[in-house]
Amino acid sequence: MSRALPSATVRTQVTVPLRFSDGYAATARVFSFHGLADGREHLAFGVGDWQAALDRAAAGGPPALVRPHSECLTGDVFGSQRCDCGPQLREAVERIADPGGLVLYLRQEGRGIGLYAKLDAYALQDSGLDTYEANLALGRGADERDYTVAAQMLVALGAGRVALLSNNPDKAEQLRRLGIEVVERVPTALHLSPANAGYLAAKASRAAHTIDLSVVP
């Protein structure tokens, strides 16, 4: 059953050239919003010919490709190898730029528990807990993220029919309950490092992320 979705409107939009550490560059139309449910400063990045992609989807054509990406300061900015967040963000921009679509940058650090708490969870992981166990040991939810603001941004931009670039089934389930037509979920690539193997295995086993570690020799 769909939940009533509070309305949001575009506040500002501006063109921003993007450049990643490996030299890949793209141009994005960056949107801020009024009326987001949690009052935080979430952003939408329109990459490639995003407007044409949204128009095609609204007319019954292929769904617009969308990546809901949760903020990760350590991975996105500093290149931490403890997660796969930075490589997923880089991959998303390139994959979405070709057909056109949206990257939603959601201020939900540490699966919603915040930056300091995420670092506390890292310390617990160093003592043997996995990423979900560590959150619970801190008295927090295993995953506290709520995708209401993502749905609000999509509706405000006219993106009611989408394909999600995500390994996480919970994102699709929440967005569907919020009235977004999620036509399909498109997995990201496997971004494995020696430091994040346990993290990826926990996401696959505990939260049904579509991560296939069996292909790793």
Buried b or exposed e, range 159-194, using 16+ CB within 10 angstroms: bbbbbbbbbbeebbebbeebebebeebbebeebbee
Say which amino acid occupies 152.
Answer: Q
Sign of the Cα torsion 32, 20, 158, 71 reads: negative
Is 177 one of the catalytic residues? no
3-state helix, strand, coil in the chain (%, to 5): 40, 25, 40
Which one of the listed residues 84, 120, 130, 143 is annotated catalytic?
143
Say which amino acid occupies 207.
Answer: A
Which one of the listed residues 67, 95, 140, 145 is annotated catalytic?
145
Is 76 one of the catalytic residues? no
Catalytic residues: 143, 145
